[in-house]
Chain A
């Protein structure tokens, strides 16, 4: 095989570059690199061009705009980052570079990964199960706060707790909340409080900070202590957006220390108001009920009636009845008396003596009537006579002629003419007047 050493293999630049490309791109198709960002340039295309470097070496890198969607931060020169990407050889220039697919600030990435792994593991173990969660007492007696005694979190918590419930009993268990040993202290505090007893709620709290600052609350030992606590644990670590492993393990998660105080303590004033309202309703209800009962009693009493009044009623009625009785007796006697008087009167009228007197009176009357009738009759006859005489004179033709009428007659019989048709033109007629007669000739028949 020694001959091979001398056997020359001649490659063109392209051929070598092809081979390198093949080799490098296959061997480094997926790499994680940590380094510092430098020479960051963002041309109009929006792609990031940068150099990753460390103390001894550097490598060019590109992050295309399409990959930047998943970027959670804006990279800057001097920043330590962790990138995932693949090596790419750019043949025209004979250069190689990293095509970045994912990039995150250094430190955070590793922690984030550890966080997700621990979270997944504990979740699988059932440490975060809803069924394990304990209910917070409605009115906690003694509340233990595991936190830094000098931080803003403890001050916020105490202030809000006092505002809502002025006589709150708060026990501060001081612990370091970041740095080495903090997690062990926090876990130890939870265990101590459980062992000592007498606490109704444990509040685990800390103000906001970087993922690294908050890390103690993401350690397994804390999660296990929280899960093992027989006292309900409220976790309020960091700001609203920060979730810690302790949050998942706790019985209740509050977004901030202030919110934790509000979840633990109900507003005393509101509770007092509610109680006062219930007392008022209780009083009103029982008053209306007793008033109703009183009314019923009064109504019943009325219906029962006053016995003395009843007696008076009876007396009146008795009086009334005896009165009627007397009246009836007296009335009956009176009636008899009146009947007797009437009978006496009738008897007197019917006696023959009175009848004789009556006959005399009638006789006298008749005689007087007879005379009167005679006189009257004579007068009547006279009057009728005069009337007839008057009518007779009215009917006399002479009387008619005296009023201006004439009687036309046809000679020689002297028949009375009653119609113009009964005469002829030139005929001679006789006209009888009241005084004298006329002989006339008919001149014209109309």
Chain B
């Protein structure tokens, strides 16, 4: 189950979570089943929350070396740097 959750895209995970909530709210599940659904839902929600936070805020400038391989450096966006090339 955990393995499967990791592979799930955020969108699919969200859809699954909505489905779980709906089934718990509307279906007449027995206690064992509803607890299992609840557990899966909580685990999924935690996972999705983690997914929302996991990416590290990053802003990089992509460059190429002589062989065309990517190099990156921090991209500093300062107001002074911005020339009005485009307007």
Chain A positions within 8 Å of B, measured between CB atoms, are 137-139, 141-142, 144, 148-155, 158, 162, 166-174, 177-178, 192-193, 196, 206-209, 213, 268, 271-272, 274-275, 278-279, 281-283, 285-286, 289-290, 293
Contacts and interface: CB of A to CB of B under 8 A. Distances in A.
A59 B18 CA distance: 74
A209 B31 contact: no
B38 A149 contact: no
Interface in B1-28: 9-11, 14, 17-18, 20-21, 24-25
Contact of A168 (B17, B45, B55, B86): B55
A177 to B, nearest CB: 7
B66 interface: no
B64 to A, nearest CB: 7
B53 A138 contact: no
A279 B42 contact: yes
Contact of A138 (B10, B69, B84, B87): B10
B45 A137 contact: no
A293 B77 contact: no
A139 B55 CA distance: 11
Given A172-B75, A275-B45, A286 B86 contact: no
Given A138-B10, A279-B45, A152 B86 contact: yes
A151 B14 CA distance: 37
Nearest to B60: A171
6 contacts: A150-B82, A167-B57, A170-B59, A286-B34, A289-B24, A289-B31
Contact of B25 (A174, A178, A281): A281
Interface string B53-82: 101111111111000111010010100011
Q: Which of B31, B64, B86, B87 has the most chain A CB atoms closer than 10 A to its own CB?
A: B86
A149 B86 CA distance: 11
A139 B72 contact: no
A256 B58 CA distance: 23
Nearest to A179: B85
A174 B38 contact: no
Contacts of A152: 82, 84, 86-87
B58 A169 contact: yes
Nearest to B76: A149
The interface centre, meaning the residue of A152, A169, A174, A275 with most chain B CB atoms within 10 A of its CB, is A275
A170 B75 CA distance: 9
Given A206-B86, A209-B87, A275-B49, A173 B31 contact: no
A162 B77 CA distance: 13
